[in-house]
A and B are shown apart, each in its own frame.
Chain A
Amino acid sequence: MNTPANLKYTKSDEWFDPQSGAMGLTDYAQSQLSDIVFIELLVEAGDTIEAGKPIASVESVKASAEIYASAGGKVAAVNKALSDKPETLNSDPFGEGWMVKVEGGKTGEVMDAAEYVAYCESRAH
């Protein structure tokens, strides 16, 4: 499981990059979902979003999940390329798999990488 140290993490398995303002779903989340076949982005550039509100809906071959904003702010960009290649969310969740970028990102309750690793391990069975 990959958990880059420079990112912040939510309990609902999203990441946030304070540097770039980008957010997406974590490596742990994509491995739990398995092959992702569809993503619908629920916000557009220019929208103002709040941490904890849905920004996307994804479907894998066996599950469906809402993705929540890991930080609030004004949406600077959305990654429309994902709609044509949702499998990017599996192959590169922290890179090309970014979903939304915000300006002045204001996070809610987040964890650092070490805390998130511990959180994921606590859920393993």
Chain B
Amino acid sequence: MTGMAEQQATISKLSGEIMQEHRSLWSDTWRHFVRHRLALISLITMVVVASAIIVGPFFISYDPERIDFAAKNESPSLAHPMGTDELGRDQLVRVLEGGRISLAVALAAVSVAMTVGVLFGAVAGYAGGWVDNALMRVVDVFYSLPGLFILILLVTIIGPGFLTIVVAIGILRWMGAARLVRASFLSLKEKEFVESARAAGAGRVRIIFRHILPNALSPIIVAGTLGIAGAILTESALSFLGLGFQPPQATWGRMLQEAQRSVLNDGHWWRGFFPGLMIFISVLSVNFIGDGLRDAVDPRRIQQ
């Protein structure tokens, strides 16, 4: 009798191993993502940075624009954890305020880039033939543009504003997404499920957006995440060159530019150290998150 019970237990144990509980693609991705330790730490870091930037300024009693000559050029202390600048403005609150613009620009620019890239790639990949050929030559042309030069040109010519900077960064970074989406579309459009959708009478737009695009999303999400890191660096570089946002608006790059003289002539290291540190931490974290996502959505990983 014990043999029966044992058998039963073995069977249920084995079948439990075979029968996988149903999980959606995203919960599956999440399960693998959290196993990537660095990616998880980075995600937590970014959540902390983002919340500090969003709600932080409300909890700090200093006004980012308030000038206080009694407290100018102070090194970091408890009252001013990141020190003060030559006008006595608190650096911490300025760094948090600046982060709002820096991160908002990066997110918006990547959204622009991804939207353009996805539309471009989807049309090229779905249409194929000469349309594909022509659109991909456009991608080649944009790839060969000297990016930062064009950005400097656009911003100097049109004038630095949120929209200009976002669009300018966006139109220099969409080509990667376009190539990825095109490649997925080229293979996916031949699959049976597309054929069946077409047989069921779905229109071209519906097939592209409703049927093919969801299956082509994961590489785009990875590319988009990594793109945020690039966009943060690009905006900072532009602001650092004095061509991005103009004072009194502070972005991390702009603060570094303003700090340059004070660090190098007066040795006020905190003026340059903290804004740069924030750029560094954000870029590093976003890179790790992107890496973790890439591993998590990789279909080959499931077979291992």
Is A bound to B? Answer: no
